[in-house]
């Protein structure tokens, strides 16, 4: 149950786009389309932003989008806004019938 | 409105036990698979356990297997996590979450468990 690999931090200026990668294996990210992305502000509970690789729950801005290629999933945030500054986590279903999370990425809006 | 409210956290000595509860409302709890996820202070999210809607299927992270037990009472709309043989490394905020498409969806606000002498 190794954690998925995410960059520790990314940054961007307001209005720009950023992409956060999430690398796993063929036993998790590469083997299933069950990949989700979560946003977590300090002291708050995580919030689902993307599910099934690229689907947005109701109420989530269309500035957030997801994709996957092979064993790597990606979250792209376009038109960066100050309120997007948060920690972001990916997660995937795994072949062992468990769930694995990424280590998290801190997004800084400059 | 979906609500998940965790309770039962607190300070416990190493080797001790604790039972967490998660009261659910605003959705059909008895039809939903549920998860526990934890987050150590200043660290990332770590998946702990999952249970099927009827309680017949469970799975655990290797780090808690044999020590933690997930269960549910659909009549009471409540999810549980029985934690035994607690270790310092179990110190974390524990979140319950409902499932959508195999992964956590709605999350509660969490309850803090501190394992220390």
pLDDT digits (tens, 9 = 90+) for A24-61: 999 999 999 999 999 999 999 999 999 999 999 999 99
- Return the percentage of chain B with pLDDT > 70, whole number: 100
Q: Beta-carbon neighbour count of residue A10 at 10 Å?
A: 17
Q: Which residue carries 């946003």 as its tokens?
A: A39
Mean pLDDT across A5-13: 97
Asked if A89 and B44 come within 8 Å (Cβ–Cβ), the reply is yes
pLDDT digits (tens, 9 = 90+) for B55-64: 999 999 999 9
pLDDT digits (tens, 9 = 90+) for A54-101: 999 999 999 999 999 999 999 999 999 999 999 999 999 999 889 999
- Cα–Cα distance between B70 and A102 in angstroms, integer? 23
Asked if B47 and A3 come within 8 Å (Cβ–Cβ), the reply is no
Q: What is the pLDDT of residue B100?
A: 87
Q: Which residue carries 């000595």 as its tokens?
A: B13
pLDDT digits (tens, 9 = 90+) for B17-38: 999 999 999 999 999 999 999 9
Nearest to A89 among B45, B59, B109 (CB): B45
Q: Which residues of A touch B50 (CB under 8 A)?
A: 98-99
- DSSP characters for chain A? -PPBB--SEEEE-TT--EEEEEE--TTTTTT-S-EEEEEE-TTS--EEEEBTTTBPPTT--TTEEEEEETTEEEEEE-S--GGG-EEEEEEEE-TTS-EEEB--EEEEE-
Residue B100 sits at φ, ψ, to 5 deg, of: -140, 130
Closest CA relative to residue B104, chosen from A57, A69, A24, A18? A57
Rounded to the nearest angstrom, the gap between the alpha carbon of residue A100 and the centroid of all alpha carbons in its chain is 13
């Amino acid at each position: 149950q190794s954690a998925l690999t995410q960059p520790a931090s990314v940054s961007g200026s307001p209005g720009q786009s950023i992409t956060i990668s999430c690398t796993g294996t063929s036993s998790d990210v590469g083997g299933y389309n069950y990949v989700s992305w979560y946003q977590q502000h300090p002291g708050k509970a995580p919030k689902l932003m993307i599910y099934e690789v690229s689907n947005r729950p109701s109420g989530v801005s269309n500035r957030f989008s997801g994709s996957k290629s092979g064993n790597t999933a990606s979250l792209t945030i376009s038109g960066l806004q100050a309120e997007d500054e948060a920690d972001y986590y990916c997660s995937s279903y795994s072949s062992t019938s468990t769930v694995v999370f990424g280590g998290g990425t801190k997004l800084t809006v400059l | 409105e979906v609500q998940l409210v965790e309770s039962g956290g607190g300070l416990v000595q190493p080797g001790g036990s604790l039972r967490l509860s998660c009261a659910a409302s605003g959705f059909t709890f008895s039809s939903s698979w549920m998860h526990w996820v934890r987050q150590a202070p200043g660290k990332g999210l770590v998946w702990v356990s999952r249970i099927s809607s009827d309680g017949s299927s469970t799975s655990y992270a290797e780090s808690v297997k044999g020590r933690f037990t997930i269960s549910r009472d659909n009549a009471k709309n409540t999810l549980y996590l029985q934690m035994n043989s607690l270790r310092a490394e179990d110190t974390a905020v524990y979140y319950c979450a409902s499932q959508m498409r195999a992964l956590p969806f709605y999350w509660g606000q969490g309850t803090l468990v501190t394992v220390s002498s």
